[in-house]
């Protein structure tokens, strides 16, 4: 790929314009942004300091009351307009996403479409999810109970480089709808994607101060951000997630953390192998395997193992790599030298311990400086790094298992629990097996696209894969504080001084007993 083609997609004028959207309170050292396709610097953003975080939080907090004072229907309309704008500006977004991440154009399009789906979902369903409601009382006729959902205030977001539009923008849309303002720290590798989205948000009616963007490395900015906001959302490694969670506990800030994974797939002997191979190859190598939902472990029932393995290896070997801005290649670049080093270390460690590389396992610098072949490992020893640690790259291990029970046991043999997949002709059996897998989400006869597109259903991890959920009602309620208001129709529920305490106690017991009998006899009315 010619260097000038990268510059054509994200030119200096655009970088300068977007850089001005970063919140700073003084001159800052320039932080270079590199294009993985060519390993060249395409622009710079400010290397923000804690003082910039403080200023961003202050500005967001000052803007919050005016934003929350708008009706939720008004805020929903803004989200709808944003979805329209994202679609209308998709080519610009796709270009910037590809320049910053090195992913294929189809993988970049998945991000654009996700933002549209998420914005539409919350614009259509969020107002009802945020509406106050009447609740039942154990003292019918005496106490009226209602709940209200108020914004937490300022929501903070620390987001990764692998999906810089989906994870930076989709995550905070429900926070905005709930009446919060936002402070976003995108990954230092991919700031321009977030800044372009910020520009589009302002164009459709989000007040500029409502979303603040700060750029720079995570370590110096993490604690002041967590200390300043009222809720923190983080997507990234388990190690960093533990640090964020510890800070959140220290400052009594609610946290939502989606962390690492070592996602398994189980393929049973009765599965449609054509469908399983096609979906799992895509699900393993989408975004060059740099995806929290991608598969790194595949367990195949013994009687189908050889056929599945051969088909999977053939399909993997046929994946096309390319550094282009069209919809041709199947697999894009890794993000950095550091990430390629992790992938290579895992594969070389596997080789040294006796694993078999069935296909791949090599750099592809003929395609681009950071490309690595889609790789399939077999006979991987349990002590190998790739057997237990997240590779986050285009590396998959295939292993035979005796039966479904053994497959579930192997799937659960990890501290992670983000996503899994089960393949069988018997969908009822598949759903039953899914319930035995310790993961926040499980797809039956699918990789993960159907699950991700089900925006009304929560998605997140268990164990070392994190806490909290995105999507669905759960994805917006975490950005609210629930207030309960009770009002009495009769006298206040306090003892009467003139009545002896013993009589009060007996009266309370008799009253509760009467209520319980009435509720059993007339449940629909009480």
Q: What is the dihedral angle through the alpha carbons of 373, 418, 149, 77, rounded to the nearest 10 degrees? A: 30
> Is the CB of residue 355 less than 8 Å from the CB of residue 380?
yes
Write the pLDDT tens digit of every residue in 474-507. 999 999 999 999 999 888 888 888 999 999 999 9
285-291 mean pLDDT:
98
* Exposure b/e, 120-159, CB count within 10 A at least 16 = b: bbbbebbeebbeeeeeeeebeeebeeeeebebbbbbbbbb
| Annotation says 292 is catalytic | yes
Rounded to whole angstroms, how far apart are CA atoms 230 and 207? 20
> Is the CB of residue 174 less than 8 Å from the CB of residue 106?
no
Rounded to whole angstroms, how far apart are CA atoms 325 and 9? 9
Strand 231-235 to 254-258 pairing: parallel
Write the pLDDT tens digit of every residue in 417-457. 999 999 999 999 999 999 999 999 999 999 999 999 999 99
Write the pLDDT tens digit of every residue in 325-381. 999 999 999 999 999 999 999 999 999 999 999 999 999 999 999 999 999 999 999
Please check the confidence at residue 161 and state whether its pLDDT lies above 50: yes
Give, in degrees to the nearest 5, the angle at Cα 157 between 58 and 113. 125
Report the share of the chain in percent with pLDDT over 70.
98
Q: Place 270 in a pLDDT band, splitting at 50, 70 and 90.
A: very high
Rounded to whole angstroms, how far apart are CA atoms 175 and 122? 10
The token duo for 144 is 């009226």
| Annotation says 344 is catalytic | no
Question: Which is the catalytic residue, given 111, 209, 292, 373?
Answer: 292
Rounded to whole angstroms, how far apart are CA atoms 189 and 62? 29
pLDDT at residue 525, rounded to an integer: 52
pLDDT at residue 447, rounded to an integer: 98
Q: Place 3 in a pLDDT band, splitting at 50, 70 and 90.
A: very low
Mean predicted lDDT score pLDDT of the chain: 96
> Is the CB of residue 319 less than 8 Å from the CB of residue 98?
no
Rounded to whole angstroms, how far apart are CA atoms 305 and 400? 6
Q: Place 515 in a pLDDT band, splitting at 50, 70 and 90.
A: confident
- List the 133-135 sheet strands across, edge first: 133-135, 143-151, 480-488
Question: Which single residue is written with the structure tokens 């805020």?
Answer: 75
Please check the confidence at residue 524 and state whether its pLDDT lies above 70: no
Write the pLDDT tens digit of every residue in 313-323. 999 999 999 99
Rounded to whole angstroms, how far apart are CA atoms 316 and 282? 9
Higher pLDDT, 139 or 222: 222
Rounded to whole angstroms, how far apart are CA atoms 437 and 411? 7
Report the share of the chain in percent with pLDDT over 90.
91
> Is the CB of residue 244 less than 8 Å from the CB of residue 234?
yes
Helix (H, G, I), strand (E, B) or coil at 431: helix
What angle do helix axes 238-250 and 218-228 make, rounded to 10 degrees?
Answer: 40
Q: Place 523 in a pLDDT band, splitting at 50, 70 and 90.
A: low
Rounded to whole angstroms, how far apart are CA atoms 416 and 353? 23
Question: Which is the catalytic residue, given 258, 296, 373, 390?
Answer: 258
> Is the CB of residue 253 less than 8 Å from the CB of residue 226?
yes
Largest CA distance in the chain: 92
Write the pLDDT tens digit of every residue in 41-97. 999 999 999 999 999 999 999 999 999 999 999 999 999 999 999 999 999 999 999
């Amino acid at each position: 790929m010619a260097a000038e083609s990268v510059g054509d997609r994200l030119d200096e004028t655009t970088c300068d314009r977007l850089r001005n959207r970063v919140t700073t309170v003084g001159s800052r050292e320039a932080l270079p942004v590199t294009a993985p396709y060519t390993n060249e610097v395409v622009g710079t953003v400010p290397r923000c300091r804690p003082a910039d975080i403080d200023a961003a939080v202050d500005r967001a907090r000052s803007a919050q009351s005016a934003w929350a004072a708008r009706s939720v229907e008004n805020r929903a309309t803004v989200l709808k307009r944003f979805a329209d704008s994202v679609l209308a500006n998709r080519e610009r977004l796709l270009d910037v996403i590809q320049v910053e991440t090195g992913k294929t154009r189809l993988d970049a399009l998945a991000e654009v479409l996700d933002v549209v789906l998420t914005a539409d979902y919350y614009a259509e369903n969020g107002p009802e999810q945020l509406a106050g409601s009447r609740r039942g009382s154990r003292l019918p006729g005496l106490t009226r109970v209602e709940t209200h959902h108020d914004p937490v205030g300022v929501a903070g977001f620390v987001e990764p480089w692998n999906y810089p539009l989906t994870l930076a923008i989709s995550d905070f849309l429900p926070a905005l709808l709930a009446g919060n303002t936002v402070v976003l720290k995108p990954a230092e590798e991919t700031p321009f994607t977030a800044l372009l989205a910020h520009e589009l948000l302002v164009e459709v009616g989000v007040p500029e101060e409502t979303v603040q963007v700060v750029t720079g490395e995570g370590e110096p900015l993490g604690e002041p951000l967590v200390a300043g906001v009222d809720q923190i959302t983080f997507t990234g490694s388990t190690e960093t997630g533990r640090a964020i969670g510890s800070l959140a506990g220290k400052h009594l800030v609610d946290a939502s953390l989606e962390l690492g994974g070592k996602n398994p797939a189980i393929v049973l002997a009765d599965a449609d192998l054509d469908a399983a191979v096609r979906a799992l190859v895509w699900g393993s190598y989408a975004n060059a395997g740099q995806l929290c939902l991608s598969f790194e472990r595949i367990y195949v029932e013994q009687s189908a193992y050889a056929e599945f393995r051969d088909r999977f290896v053939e399909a993997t070997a046929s994946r096309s790599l390319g550094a282009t801005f069209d919809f041709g290649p199947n697999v894009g670049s890794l993000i950095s030298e550091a990430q390629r080093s992790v992938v290579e270390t895992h594969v070389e460690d596997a080789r040294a311990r006796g694993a078999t590389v069935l296909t791949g396992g090599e750099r592809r610098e003929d395609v681009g400086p950071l490309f690595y072949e889609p790789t399939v490992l077999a006979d991987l020893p349990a002590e190998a790094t790739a057997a237990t640690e997240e590779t986050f790259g285009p590396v998959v291990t295939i292993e035979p298992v005796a039966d479904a029970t053994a497959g579930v046991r192997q799937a659960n043999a990890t501290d992670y629990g983000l996503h899994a997949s089960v393949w069988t002709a018997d969908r009822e059996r598949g759903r039953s097996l899914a319930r035995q897998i310790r993961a926040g989400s499980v797809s039956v006869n699918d990789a993960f696209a159907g699950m991700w597109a089900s925006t009304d259903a929560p998605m997140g991890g268990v164990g070392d894969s994190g806490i909290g959920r995105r999507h669905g009602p759960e994805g917006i309620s975490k950005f609210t504080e629930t207030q309960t208001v009770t009002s009495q129709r009769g006298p206040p529920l306090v003892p009467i001084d003139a009545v002896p305490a013993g009589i009060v106690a007996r009266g309370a017991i008799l009253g509760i007993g009467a209520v319980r009998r009435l509720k059993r006899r007339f449940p629909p009315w009480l």
